[in-house]
Amino acid sequence: MTERVLVTGGAGFIASHVAERYLAEGFEVTVLDDLSSGRREHVPSGAEFVEADVGSPEARELMASGGFTVLNHHAAQMDVRRSVADPAFDARTNILGLLNLLEGGRAGALRRAVFASSGGVVYGESDELPHPETARKLPVSPYGVSKLTSEFYLAAYAQLYGMEVVSLRYANVFGPRQNPHGEAGVVAIFGSRLHRGEPLTIFGDGSQTRDYVYVADVVEANMCATRSRVAAADDIDALAFNVGTGTEISVTDLAQSLLDAAGRSVAIEHAAARAGELQRSAVAIEKAEREWGWRPQVSLVEGLRRTYEWLAEEAA
Ligand SMILES: NC(=O)c1ccc[n+]([C@@H]2O[C@H](COP(=O)([O-])OP(=O)(O)OC[C@H]3O[C@@H](n4cnc5c(N)ncnc54)[C@H](O)[C@@H]3O)[C@@H](O)[C@H]2O)c1
């Protein structure tokens, strides 16, 4: 029988690629998205689309009666600064939204939940880099707390109801369809400025590091998380997988790599460092390699080249 998957946030960047892949793998796909930052045209043709908030009665009813065996949950409030300014809004969307879907799914056919967590915010600052899944957790933002809390709720559902759950702790994901507006990924912001011939602004001295993973590799990790055997829920880390490259890249090096990949040049400017920004971040990926045979396949330069090409086509 064809498996049915509900992909939340599937009008957005990462989950629109994930939804596309589920279709290619023969799943029946429904995308649920409130279009708060996503775009209707990113929902792949072949997927059903439901415009609704994850916390709404419609979303719960859909989970209860839609026959979904898999929930792939990417919809989120993901603006760190907004989570600081309005932590209750963050919690309503990210925590209560998840519970609404899980409660619906429990009444329905739900067997497995794959959750988009964040390796950039659950671990906080520490010298143990790249962070293994077992690294100390100390989110510095309400957004980080809501991601970590969601992982605990999922582990509780695994224990209470035998639900199979996997949390993917993403590093900084980049690629086509990433939104360059608002609190977005730096690649999308730099890429669109570069395309317009505008200078790139680096906050601080540019030595801060991140781990950049290309979206196609993230999609592959979602498929592993959908199909693999799931561990016993004796600890949230047993249910979590880092998805990154294990490599730290400074913002200065990232900007230069983008200029190289695009074959264009603009000025690089500096502005005051932003308060609360982590100085270093990277996730260790040995667990996904060991258990799933997963490794990122797309190099930083190749990923930047593909992303810039997409940006240029979009602009045209
Ligand atoms: N992009 C990254 O580098 C990164 C890193 C770590 C974790 N994540 C997580 O991955 C997920 C997807 O991120 P993305 O970069 O694709 O972002 P995105 O903004 O492109 O996608 C999020 C989607 O969720 C939808 N959405 C937001 N609130 C909603 C609500 N209340 N109800 C229904 N839909 C709602 C938006 O309209 C959007 O289409 C998020 O959960 C995010 O926290 C992303």
Q: What is the CATH number of the domain that holds 301?
A: 3.90.25.10
Residues 9 and 29 placed together within one structural domain of the fold: yes
CB burial of residue 250 (10 Å; 0-12, 13-18, 19+): middle
CA of 263 to the centre of ligand 1 (A): 30
Among 13, 78, 90, 121, name the best residue to mutate to test ligand 1's pocket (greatest count of ligand atoms within 8 A of Cβ).
78
Residues 203 and 128 placed together within one structural domain of the fold: no
Residues 19 and 51 placed together within one structural domain of the fold: yes
Identify whether 291 is part of a domain.
no
Q: Closest residue (by CA) to atom 31 of ligand 1?
A: 53
The ligand 1 site (C-beta within 6 Å) comprises: 8-9, 11-15, 33-38, 53-54, 74-78, 93, 97, 116, 118, 120, 170, 172-173, 179, 185
Cα separation, 27 vs 10, whole angstroms: 14
- Residue-range definition of the domain harbouring residue 79: 4-172+212-243
Residues 83 and 141 placed together within one structural domain of the fold: yes
CA of 260 to the centre of ligand 1 (A): 29
Residues 198 and 261 placed together within one structural domain of the fold: yes
Cα separation, 283 vs 134, whole angstroms: 11
CA of 178 to the centre of ligand 1 (A): 10
CA of 163 to the centre of ligand 1 (A): 23
Check: CB of residue 80 under 8 Å from CB of residue 123.
Answer: no
Identify whether 86 is part of a domain.
yes
Check: CB of residue 246 under 8 Å from CB of residue 285.
Answer: yes
Identify whether 290 is part of a domain.
no
Cα separation, 208 vs 222, whole angstroms: 28
Residues 11 and 25 placed together within one structural domain of the fold: yes
Residues 81 and 128 placed together within one structural domain of the fold: yes
**pTM: predicted TM-score of the whole model, two decimal places:** 0.97
CA of 37 to the centre of ligand 1 (A): 8
Residues 130 and 203 placed together within one structural domain of the fold: no
Number of domains in the chain: 2
Check: CB of residue 157 under 8 Å from CB of residue 113.
Answer: yes
Per-residue pLDDT in tens (0 to 9) along the chain, 316 residues: 789 999 999 999 999 999 999 999 999 999 999 999 999 999 999 999 999 999 999 999 999 999 999 999 999 999 999 999 999 999 999 999 999 999 999 999 999 999 999 999 999 787 789 999 999 999 999 999 999 999 999 999 999 999 999 999 999 999 999 988 755 689 999 999 999 999 999 999 999 999 999 999 999 999 999 999 988 878 999 999 999 999 999 999 999 999 999 999 999 999 999 877 889 999 999 999 999 999 999 999 999 999 999 999 988 8
Identify whether 128 is part of a domain.
yes
Residues 75 and 111 placed together within one structural domain of the fold: yes
Angle between helices 300-315 and 251-262 (to 10 degrees): 60
SS3 141: coil
Task: Name the token pair of 95.
Answer: 């925590």
Identify whether 8 is part of a domain.
yes
143 catalytic residue (yes or no): yes
Check: CB of residue 2 under 8 Å from CB of residue 62.
Answer: no
Q: Would you give the DSSP letter of residue 288?
A: H
Residues 20 and 123 placed together within one structural domain of the fold: yes
Identify whether 289 is part of a domain.
no
Cα separation, 235 vs 238, whole angstroms: 5
Residues 95 and 126 placed together within one structural domain of the fold: yes
Q: Closest residue (by CA) to atom 28 of ligand 1?
A: 76
Identify whether 97 is part of a domain.
yes
Q: Which of 22, 123, 143, 170 is catalytic?
A: 143
Residues 35 and 57 placed together within one structural domain of the fold: yes
Q: What is the CATH number of the domain that holds 87?
A: 3.40.50.720
Indicate which atom in ligand 1 lies nearest the CA of residue 16. Answer: 16
pLDDT tens figures, 184-238: 689 999 999 999 999 999 999 999 999 999 999 999 999 999 999 988 878 999 9
Region of residue 104 (phi > 0: left; psi between -120 and 50: alpha; otherwise: beta): alpha
Identify whether 184 is part of a domain.
yes
Task: Name the token pair of 286.
Answer: 């040995």
Cα separation, 97 vs 258, whole angstroms: 36
**Chain centroid, CA 32 distance in Å:** 16
Q: Degrees (nearest 5) of the Cα angle 206, 141, 210?
A: 30
